[in-house]
Amino acid sequence: MALCAPLSVEDQVVQPMVDASPAKWHLAHTTWFFETFVLPEPVFDPAFAQLFNSYYEAVGPRVDRPRRGMLTRPSLERVHAYRAQVDERVARGLAEGVLDPARVELGLHHEQQHQELILTDAKYVLGTQPLRPAYRATDRGASSSPAPLGWRSHDGGITQVGSPGGFAFDNELPRHDVLVHPFQLATRALANAEVQAFVADGGYRDPRHWLSDGWTTVVREGWTAPLYWHEDALYDLAGVRAIDPAETACHLSYYEADAIARWLGARLPTEFEWEVAAAPLDPARGNFADDDRLHPRRDGALFGDVWEWTQSSYSAYPGYRPLAGALGEYNGKFMSGQQVLRGGSCFTPRGHVRATYRNYFPPAARWQMTGVRLAKDAA
Amino acid sequence: MALCAPLSVEDQVVQPMVDASPAKWHLAHTTWFFETFVLPEPVFDPAFAQLFNSYYEAVGPRVDRPRRGMLTRPSLERVHAYRAQVDERVARGLAEGVLDPARVELGLHHEQQHQELILTDAKYVLGTQPLRPAYRATDRGASSSPAPLGWRSHDGGITQVGSPGGFAFDNELPRHDVLVHPFQLATRALANAEVQAFVADGGYRDPRHWLSDGWTTVVREGWTAPLYWHEDALYDLAGVRAIDPAETACHLSYYEADAIARWLGARLPTEFEWEVAAAPLDPARGNFADDDRLHPRRDGALFGDVWEWTQSSYSAYPGYRPLAGALGEYNGKFMSGQQVLRGGSCFTPRGHVRATYRNYFPPAARWQMTGVRLAKDAA
Amino acid sequence: MALCAPLSVEDQVVQPMVDASPAKWHLAHTTWFFETFVLPEPVFDPAFAQLFNSYYEAVGPRVDRPRRGMLTRPSLERVHAYRAQVDERVARGLAEGVLDPARVELGLHHEQQHQELILTDAKYVLGTQPLRPAYRATDRGASSSPAPLGWRSHDGGITQVGSPGGFAFDNELPRHDVLVHPFQLATRALANAEVQAFVADGGYRDPRHWLSDGWTTVVREGWTAPLYWHEDALYDLAGVRAIDPAETACHLSYYEADAIARWLGARLPTEFEWEVAAAPLDPARGNFADDDRLHPRRDGALFGDVWEWTQSSYSAYPGYRPLAGALGEYNGKFMSGQQVLRGGSCFTPRGHVRATYRNYFPPAARWQMTGVRLAKDAA
Amino acid sequence: MALCAPLSVEDQVVQPMVDASPAKWHLAHTTWFFETFVLPEPVFDPAFAQLFNSYYEAVGPRVDRPRRGMLTRPSLERVHAYRAQVDERVARGLAEGVLDPARVELGLHHEQQHQELILTDAKYVLGTQPLRPAYRATDRGASSSPAPLGWRSHDGGITQVGSPGGFAFDNELPRHDVLVHPFQLATRALANAEVQAFVADGGYRDPRHWLSDGWTTVVREGWTAPLYWHEDALYDLAGVRAIDPAETACHLSYYEADAIARWLGARLPTEFEWEVAAAPLDPARGNFADDDRLHPRRDGALFGDVWEWTQSSYSAYPGYRPLAGALGEYNGKFMSGQQVLRGGSCFTPRGHVRATYRNYFPPAARWQMTGVRLAKDAA
């Protein structure tokens, strides 16, 4: 609710592209999730079962994703009433000890995921319309040059990956051994300076840097720079301003991440290389949504700032078992055509991510808060 | 403003298909029209010139039509302020006698056209989302059977068509002679009863009734009945209710109008046959938006109820001259791929239409308040 | 068969766009037409009923139009055998007097229409592939300047149009009175010189010249000149050569015809203006396929050279009755979304056209041999 | 050339879908490959550099893939002349010892890949047109039931994968260690019997079996069975005949493979599980194109019969280096959006594959000779 406060009613209802769901829908869908999977039965409005089901085939029919932005009814006000009732029922159920704590926890993590999406999608709503209004004002500080790009070496070997315990999504399980070859990981994500150099070198016009599907996308979509760049300026949630070369670059697709890495003579890390490097670190240290910057900054933390594309496609761990019932659709059915991203971003709630956390998006997606950290084989 | 009163802020911002513009956009665009073509210069906000230009290439760049529904900003409130200022400027200009009266009159007729579109497009917003909410309650009365379909004969001969004077759009000019062959025109438009019979006879499944393009459309779109029909019920602005066989049928495309006419052994009138029949009648007598029924009823008036498709494609009259300057784009550039409709509808403001008035839409359009009146050659 | 002689087997099987049917298909379809509508029953191969039906819903299912180019079987050789058998059966039937002469005549006129299409579609096959091979060599003569564009005045009045008797398609009937206003018709069709001037003036970049649908098409298709123009050269069936300014311009869509006419301060004729002007002339005098030039030349004849776009949309004459049975689909079901063209072209067999003949194509079509003759209201 | 012998000239020129290139194009492209990458310089026809380049951006412009089927010229005969000349030049160059043997070898392996594609694409040309002609007659033997599906256990551990030496494509390198967990692999690929059971169980109508992208594809494409199945019959290169339950199932997409595996309570193997199992086997033992059956049979060999989908997405091995120059585009740029397949098929030339060979196709592809072998975690 707080994330939606800077948005007008109008901002919360439209869907400017199929992937960017309205904020009202996010509010209602996360409430629906609690009502469907956490509470004993839905009571608020029988129609909502269909209206706010996202993709759970086993739960029943639902509004087609591209039509989420047509739902002017129920009103935002009524969705707020829905949340209030469900919040109250969950609080009561917790107090009475009648709810499954694992389900409540899952509902909260699901909620956090949609908190990130509210920011991501609101940025798309605001940043792609002609007036490009700010979400809210922030002082960004002066532009500067990025720190030099260093490398940190990691030994290889057999190592365990996947959740060691505590809350985890099913796709982080089971914990298992993998063999990682010695590698180097960059000390920071790529900054705008490196992307500006790629642009200046004609990188968006030279097919030799690109994966075949990536080049097809560049040509079809007319990409000439990251999303939200307009010549020397960019749009962020505070409005339009000059590009700061030192800031971590964001809104890059996997295709762009891969092309820029190749152009720089490096590559993207595998998801396990990333996990090995991140495992010893504190996942709460970094630039997260709670910092209210809502834009990457210029530090080298592995967590926060931007989701970092990996060269690993999203697939099941050996021995993977989806959750039982409809919740089995939460993650497992998306295991094709997507790349794994790691680390969380400045749109992610602090505390939501961990070293084993696996985010995933299709390689052409660039409206997410996504960036690039380079890797290399060991020297 | 009154037409928008029953709509929520959310209802007024979305665009559920490319042809159905948001109510907020209609409010702003008609205001823009006055500011651009009637007032000496725009002063409210320079950005609005681009935001609310519909299709006037000569005025400059504009928001692509399919993106009108992305404009969450300016807010509805600010559009209301825009209207208030422009209204005030127009009133003052009229009082001071500094405005061109012909431009003011054109602005008012333009406004009336968009009043009809506000109702048409709001119906689409409300009637195509899952909850199908009512715009406002109305008592429709009991169902009944339609009056028998009679025929009225008209002599042919050389007759004058086109505007005889008074306000007219450029496409009604010049008045000129045409030769009309003797014909008969039905005493009423087709009622739901006839369309129900066509459906029951498998009319939507038999290509032999249809124009080739029409059949392609039926198959591609999966049409099985008029728009807003759901089995034995239909949606109108008062909600979902049983289909009344006696009511004038509406939301039929030209393809459907043509197919049903052929199936009934008749044809659609030409626009001049229609004009000959309508010329002696009072164009203010009929079911118009001012009657607040907002749905066809069951009378035989030529004016009001539904726009009646003619077999005439929309083209220039001999000697046609578009208006000078950007306003020349008002009508002339649409003279291809469209059919003429005559008569006005229950969504049209009373007093807006006349016997010579030419409306036009593409043959597949069915979200407009459109129906069918049959014609025949003289016996 | 003679028209196909310069084509390779390969040239006769492919379909480079949905509208351009393979020559083999034309050979087989015209044979199918005789077997289906002229002969007592099909005997050659039962599968051919479905394979070579074009669009007759009443005859049964058929191969979708876009898949005509997938029919590598039956082979061209077998289609030749099919034709030989059907030709022989028709000849025998004629000799024995057991065939309906009206059906035979219709079959021959149908054949002539497809003769024109074989040339039209072969030009598209050859002219849009990288090597742009010639169909066969022809000497075009030296370039020169076009004759001055003159005007011929015609009185208006009530006049009869439509077939006066003799063979005619159903869409030319019934003969009926129309009222034609006094007009002027250009003494020749537009030449390449005028189109070159339109291009040089930025005509393809200025939306003000174009119908709205036309401009949309120009932008979407990237049109910058007529089809088959490549800078200062054009492709015709003799190969690529310099554009001759004096030649009649061809391969113009209706949108281009309309835009160039408006740019020149004139308009396109109505189909009845054209018919009035053509009625006294000999329809066999002009540049037809039999002349084997297979490209427009530089004369002023109303017949031959290029089909001339009219501003009349294709619709039924008052009292129109389609042929009975499946043949009723020959013309009538196409009466929407098309413009009438008159006069025949250098791809039309001599003797096929007449003053009342109505050809029709959608306004964006430009692969046909189509051009522009200007008209004006009487001075 | 021998593979094309049963095809008519017409069969060799069309392109029924964008992925299925004409046989003539395959003949010319493989020749172009030798002329471009093996011989010192192209001499046959300068235009061929552009006409028959497949996807090498670094070599220059080329015909868009969807337009390969428009190339009626050069003729098949001229392509044969092209091959004869290049064959002769290569033979002479080999005799004179002036060619790079590695390049010659690469050209031969490239040729073998296109031999498989000639069969694959010819099947699509013949099998998707109405007459479904046979490529050539073969006796298939009587139908029967499949052998029981058994399992073979494999120990896990660190093992080497990738080419141990000898000819290999760059994507098989470098040889490196991977950690494979203990697993079981089915003793044979799935047979038609299992797929028939999946169909009978409503498998193609139940979204719960499918990946999300897979279900979208099933609905959009209207899949109800494997490609080339028609009720109880299937098309193979010998024509249409009853489905034999015992035969290895083929023409399954990755989505179908994954769904059927899940429905059977198993999973697809990883590419390294497959490689571990295959490494000790003789890659020449199996049903290959040289056996001239040109359809799977009913044995359990890991090599031949069908390409077996793995759950591994196609990506670079650690330390992967593409070939230098334009040949670097051979494999590397396709490393997104594709799944690895292993083993070779009845369309593959014997001797072309090996245990480390990596084939790859997008998950929706089903026109290739692809099937399913199940895996399981160790009991």
The three-state DSSP-derived secondary structure of chain D is CCCCCCCCCHHHCCCCCCCCCCHHHHHHHHHHHHHHHHCCCCCCCCCHHHHCCCCCHHHCCCCCHHHHHHCCCCCHHHHHHHHHHHHHHHHHHHHHCCCCHHHHHHHHHHHHHHHHHHHHHHHHHHHCCCCCCCCCCCCCCCCCCCCCCCEEEECCEEEEECCCCCCCCHHHCCCEEEEECCEEEECCCCEHHHHHHHHHCCHHHCHHHCCHHHHHHHHHHCCCCCCCEECCEEEECCEEEECCCCCECCCCCHHHHHHHHHHCCCECCCHHHHHHHHCCCCCCCCECHHHCCCCCCCCCCCCECCEEEEEEECCCCCCCCCCCHHHHHCCHHHCCCCEEEECCCCCCCCCCCCCCCCEEECCCCCCCCEECCCEEECC
3 state SS of B296: coil
For A228-263, write each residue's pLDDT tens digit. Answer: 999 999 999 999 999 999 999 999 999 999 999 999
Query: Closest residue of C to B329, CA-based?
Result: C208
Residue A60 has pLDDT above 90, yes or no: no
For B265-292, write each residue's pLDDT tens digit. Answer: 999 999 999 999 999 999 999 999 999 9
Query: Closest residue of A to D332, CA-based?
Result: A211
Average pLDDT, chain B: 96
Predicted local distance difference test score (pLDDT) of residue D286 = 96
Q: Which amino acid is at A32?
A: W
Question: B67 contacts in A (CB within 8 Å)?
Answer: 16, 129
Alpha carbons A219 and D109: distance in angstroms, whole number: 31
Residue A326 has pLDDT above 90, yes or no: no
The closest CB to that of C336, out of B57, B181, B213, belongs to: B213
Predicted local distance difference test score (pLDDT) of residue D328 = 87
Phi and psi, residue A373, nearest 5°: -120, 130
Q: Which amino acid is at C300?
A: G
List the single best residue of D176, D313, D334, D361 to mutate versus A (max A Cβ within 10 A): D313
Q: Do D50 and C131 touch (CB under 8 A)?
A: no
Q: Do B57 and C208 touch (CB under 8 A)?
A: yes
The answer to which of A135-139, A178-182, B129-133, B254-258 has the lowest mean pLDDT is: A135-139
Query: Closest residue of D to A60, CA-based?
Result: D207
Is the CB of residue A315 less than 8 Å away from at least one CB of chain D? yes
Is the CB of residue C210 less than 8 Å away from at least one CB of chain B? yes
Task: List the chains bordering chain A where 3 or more Cβ pairs fall under 8 Å.
Answer: B, D
Tell me, yes or no, whether chains B and D touch by having 3 or more C-beta pairs under 8 A: no
Q: Which of B264, B267, B302 is nearest to B378 (CA)?
A: B267
List the single best residue of C262, C313, C315 to mutate versus B (max B Cβ within 10 A): C313
Chains C, D: CB pairs < 8 Å: 83
Is the CB of residue A300 less than 8 Å away from at least one CB of chain B? no
The closest CB to that of A73, out of B70, B72, B133, belongs to: B133
With contact defined as beta carbons under 8 Å apart, do C344 and C286 qualify?
A: yes
Provide long-range contacts, Cβ within 8 A and 24+ apart, for B198-206: B198/B259, B198/B260, B198/B263, B199/B224, B199/B225, B201/B263, B203/B259, B203/B260, B203/B263
Is the CB of residue B286 less than 8 Å away from at least one CB of chain A? no
Reading chain D (379 residues) residue by residue, the pLDDT tens digits are 999 999 999 999 999 999 999 999 999 999 999 999 999 999 999 999 889 999 888 888 889 999 999 999 999 999 999 999 999 999 999 999 999 999 999 999 999 999 999 999 999 999 999 999 999 998 888 888 899 999 999 998 999 999 999 999 999 999 999 999 999 999 999 999 999 999 999 999 999 999 999 999 999 999 999 999 999 999 999 999 999 999 999 999 999 999 999 999 999 999 999 999 999 999 999 999 999 999 999 878 999 999 999 999 999 999 999 988 889 888 889 999 999 999 999 999 999 999 999 999 999 999 999 999 999 999 7
Is the CB of residue D219 less than 8 Å away from at least one CB of chain C? no
Q: Do A14 and B130 touch (CB under 8 A)?
A: no
Predicted local distance difference test score (pLDDT) of residue D143 = 85
Residue A329 has pLDDT above 90, yes or no: no
Is the CB of residue A363 less than 8 Å away from at least one CB of chain D? yes
**How many angstroms separate the Cα of A24 from the Cα of each of A7, A11, A71, A75, B68?**
10, 9, 9, 9, 20
Predicted local distance difference test score (pLDDT) of residue C277 = 97
Q: Which amino acid is at A370?
A: T
For D47-88, write each residue's pLDDT tens digit. Answer: 998 899 998 888 888 899 999 999 999 999 999 999 999 999
Predicted local distance difference test score (pLDDT) of residue B176 = 97
Closest approach of D258 to chain C, Cα-based (Å): 31
Question: B126 contacts in A (CB within 8 Å)?
Answer: 72-73
Q: Do B255 and C336 touch (CB under 8 A)?
A: yes
The closest CB to that of B70, out of A70, A74, A128, belongs to: A128
For A170-184, write each residue's pLDDT tens digit. Answer: 999 999 999 999 999
For B7-62, write each residue's pLDDT tens digit. Answer: 999 999 999 999 999 999 999 999 999 999 999 999 999 999 889 999 888 888 88
Residue B331 has pLDDT above 90, yes or no: no
Cβ within 8 Å of residue D378, ≥6 positions away = D153, D156, D181, D182, D183, D184
Q: Percentage of chain B with pLDDT > 90?
A: 90
Is the CB of residue B313 less than 8 Å away from at least one CB of chain C? yes
Predicted local distance difference test score (pLDDT) of residue C330 = 85
Interior angle at CA D299, CA D294 and CA D305, nearest 5: 35
Residue B180 has pLDDT above 80, yes or no: yes
pLDDT-based confidence at residue B344 (cuts at 50, 70, 90)? very high
Residue C299 has pLDDT above 80, yes or no: no
Is the CB of residue D263 less than 8 Å away from at least one CB of chain A? no
Question: C364 contacts in B (CB within 8 Å)?
Answer: none
- Would you state the structure tokens that stand for residue C182, as one six-digit string? 């006094």
Is the CB of residue D212 less than 8 Å away from at least one CB of chain A? yes
Predicted local distance difference test score (pLDDT) of residue B168 = 96
Question: D363 contacts in A (CB within 8 Å)?
Answer: 336-337
Query: Closest residue of B to A49, CA-based?
Result: B130
Average pLDDT value for residue range C140-145? 85
Residue B371 has pLDDT above 80, yes or no: yes
Predicted local distance difference test score (pLDDT) of residue C325 = 87
Predicted local distance difference test score (pLDDT) of residue D115 = 98
Question: Cis omega (within 30 of 0) on the bond before A74?
Answer: yes
